[in-house]
């Protein structure tokens, strides 16, 4: 079995690990680092549940090999809340607006939207809908997710100007 030694920074913490070259980044995060917040739905890049941030950009971790993450920085849903457990404004808005029911899609929604709101602090409703067009949710009908995102954007703008 072809294996490689990789070093990655995940949520600010450095890891040096040996990986099978065919292991996807998603399986590496879940099984090797035990960060099971990243969910796997379809494993072929359609559902968006496995979205993580690679050097700040949202990517599908099922469509990347762990070995490709060598010397890169990854942020998963586990890294969103502060070290004191305080929720990220987006997480808080999801909680306040029932932006989740079963929660399966939530990690992918959050990581996708963190990047999106960083680039688009004042989005329209349509912008938000397009941003999450690559994330499937079977519970909410998306409405509450869109509401939560717009509210989070508002809170984050207020925080920035405060």
Partner 1 sequence: MKPPPFQYHTPETIEQVVSLLTSLENNRLLAGGQSLMPMLNMRYVMPDHIIDLNRVAGLSSITLAGSELVIGAMTRQRDIEFSREIESRCPVITEAIKYVGHRQTRNRGTIGGSLCHLDPSAELVTLCALHDATVSAVGPNGIRDIAFADFPVGYMTTALQPDECLTHIRIPLWPQSHGYGFVEFARRHGDFAIVSAAALLELDPTSTIKRVSIALGGVGYAPLRVREIETGLVGKKASSELWPEAAQACSKIQALEDVHASSSYRRRLAVAMARRALQAAGERALANSSRH
Closer residue to partner 1 in complex, CB, 68/122: 68
Closer residue to partner 1 in complex, CB, 68/95: 68
Structure tokens, 132: 């999450």
Is 134 an interacting residue with respect to partner 1 (CB under 8 A)? yes
Q: What does the alpha-carbon distance between residue 162 and residue 157 come to, in Å, rounded to a whole number?
A: 9
Identify which range of 9-17, 73-81, 87-95, 129-137 contacts partner 1 by CB under 8 A. 129-137
- In 38-142, alpha helices (H): 89-96, 106-119, 125-131
**How is the beta sheet containing 3-10 ordered, strand by strand?**
13-20, 3-10, 73-75, 51-54, 57-60
The site for partner 1 (CB under 8 A) is made up of 1-2, 4, 21-22, 24, 27, 43-45, 48, 51, 54, 57-60, 62-65, 67-68, 112, 115-116, 129-131, 133-134
């Amino acid at each position: 079995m072809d294996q490689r030694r990789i070093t990655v920074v995940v949520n600010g913490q450095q890891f040096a690990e040996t990986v099978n070259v065919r292991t996807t980044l998603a399986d590496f995060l879940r099984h090797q680092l035990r960060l099971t917040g990243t969910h796997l739905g379809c494993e072929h890049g359609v559902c968006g549940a496995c979205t993580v941030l690679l050097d700040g950009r949202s990517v599908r971790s099922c469509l990347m090999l762990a070995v490709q993450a060598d010397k890169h920085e990854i942020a998963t849903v586990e890294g969103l809340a502060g070290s004191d457990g305080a929720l990220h404004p987006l997480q808080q808005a999801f909680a306040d607006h029932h932006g989740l029911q079963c929660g399966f899609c939530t990690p992918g929604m959050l990581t996708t939207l963190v990047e999106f709101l960083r680039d688009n602090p004042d989005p329209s409703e349509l912008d938000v809908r397009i941003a999450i067009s690559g994330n499937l949710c079977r519970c909410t009908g998306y409405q509450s997710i869109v509401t939560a995102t717009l509210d989070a954007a508002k809170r984050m703008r207020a925080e920035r100007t405060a």
